[in-house]
Amino acid sequence: MRNLADQDPIEFSTLDSDYHLDTQDLHASLNGISDELKGLNNDIKSSGDKITDDLRAINNQFNKITNIMIDALSPDEEENA
């Protein structure tokens, strides 16, 4: 502790107006990036919903084809009666 007490006080330099302008520019840039990421997230969500709908439609058609093939390969119930 004595070593710290014997040292000169710490001095900080005063920040000039350029620093404040730079921080405002950085803040504006970060806000812009954040807004773009939100937009990208919404676009991906919309695309994801569309892809999900397309995959469901493909699955439904595949099920129809599978059922037709099963019906074609199954013995006719009328023939067994």
Can you count the helices (H) and strands (E) in the chain?
Answer: 3, 0
- One-letter amino acid for residue 25 of the chain: D
Q: What is the pLDDT of residue 10?
A: 83
- How far apart are the C-alpha atoms of 48 and 30, rounded to whole Å? 26
- How far apart are the C-alpha atoms of 52 and 44, rounded to whole Å? 12
Q: What is the pLDDT of residue 6?
A: 82
pLDDT tens across the length of the chain (81 residues): 677 778 888 888 888 888 889 999 999 999 999 999 999 988 888 888 888 889 999 999 999 999 999 988 887 765 555
Q: What is the pLDDT of residue 58?
A: 95
The answer, as to whether pTM is greater than 0.75, is: no
